[in-house]
Amino acid sequence: SSSQETQSSGSGIIIGQNDTELLCVTNAHVINGADTISVCFVDGSAVEASVKGSDTDNDLAVISVKLSDISDDTKSQIKVATIGDSSSLKVGEQVVAIGNALGYGQSVTSGIVSGLNRQLDDSNISMIQTDAAINPGNSGGALLNMSGEVIGINTAKAAATEVEGMGYAISMSDAMPVIEELMTKTTREKVSDEN
């Protein structure tokens, strides 16, 4: 047998900043097994990132980028996302999903909230169901309400020939306590090959 290195893509949300790092949240399945992680910003610049913390049970991860690695021009074009109240969502509300669909770069799809408090498989994670298109590469991206507030983290879609328009996002009400805990972890730098 042989192994081959591959590249994959996902999405993320700028969730916070401390004195030295910009913090982004994504899905744990986006970064699991990665040797290196890069964050590509809206202006096309890419910066190496490190893992702050990961919770596979809740499919959430926080990664960090050193502020010193981000150019001033890029800093002027980005900002920390505004978090909304996903517990006040109603079925039928309009939403927008933002992500890196198929690795093409930023994409935006719109839809409505189709269901609340959905459970996938054996998970205890509360999901928002939407008919906004959630495609490969959208994982970890933002599900926004019409005020531009993040109310969910895109994570999955139902895929089968008889299924259409069933995407899922982790509700921010459930995600924020996990994210806040992951943000406090010590950043893990990759161990060099010499050690």
Catalytic option among 54, 86, 139, 173: 139
At residue 176, φ and ψ (nearest 5 deg) are -60, -45
Establish whether 139 is a catalytic residue: yes
Residues 30, 39: Cα–Cα separation, whole Å = 12
Catalytic option among 9, 59, 114, 174: 59
Establish whether 59 is a catalytic residue: yes
* Sheet hosting strand 21-26, strand order edge to edge: 13-17, 21-26, 60-66, 46-55, 37-40
Establish whether 35 is a catalytic residue: no
Catalytic option among 29, 64, 114, 171: 29
CA nearest to 150, candidates 107, 94, 111, 97: 97
Residues 10, 136: Cα–Cα separation, whole Å = 8
> So which residues are the catalytic ones?
29, 59, 139
